């Protein structure tokens, strides 16, 4: 099976912009090992393109942050996580774009090294 055919299978694995588990199971049963690897890779890439991960240092004001990012990315699924190592600030991962506005990032860039060293 060609990579384009497998990519099309990954595209039809969605129902109403959400991954359909029944379709995925049916398709994955019919694929060989190598084709299954390509299929899973395509699904992961498609999911990454449809998801934005927002990481904050604390849950303080999280409801305002959630509403703000849901307005900015209305066509994507927005996932919120808390990472206290950011110290303060925010990190946004939109597929292969990473935006980090945090005290930890600022200090690492100012010192020229990692704070964990």
Burial class (CB in 10 A: 0-12, 13-18, 19+), 39: buried
Q: Are residues 42 and 56 in the same domain?
A: no
Q: What would the pLDDT profile of 6-35 be if each residue is shown by its tens digit?
A: 999 999 999 988 899 999 999 999 999 999
Give residue 13's domain range: 3-49
The owner of tokens 């690897």 is 37
Residue 89 belongs to a domain: yes
Mention every residue, 6+ apart, whose C-beta is less than 8 A from residue 42: 6, 7, 10
The rounded mean pLDDT for the chain is 89
Q: Are residues 43 and 55 in the same domain?
A: no
Q: Are residues 59 and 97 in the same domain?
A: yes
Count of residues making up the chain: 117
Is 0.95 surpassed by the pTM of this model? no
Residue 49: band (very low, low, confident or very high) from pLDDT cuts 50, 70, 90:
very high
Residue 86 belongs to a domain: yes
Q: Output the pLDDT for position 87.
A: 76
């Amino acid at each position: 099976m060609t990579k384009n055919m497998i990519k099309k299978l990954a595209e039809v694995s969605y129902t109403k912009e959400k991954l359909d588990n029944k379709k995925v199971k049916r398709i994955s049963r019919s694929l060989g090992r190598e084709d299954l690897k390509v299929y899973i890779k395509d699904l992961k890439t498609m999911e990454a393109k449809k998801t934005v991960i927002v990481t904050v240092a604390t849950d303080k004001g999280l409801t305002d942050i959630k509403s703000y990012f849901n307005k900015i990315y209305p066509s994507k699924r927005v996932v919120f996580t808390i990472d206290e190592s950011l110290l303060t600030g925010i990190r946004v991962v939109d597929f292969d774009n990473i935006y980090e506005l945090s005290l930890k990032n600022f200090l690492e860039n100012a010192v020229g090294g990692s704070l964990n060293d």
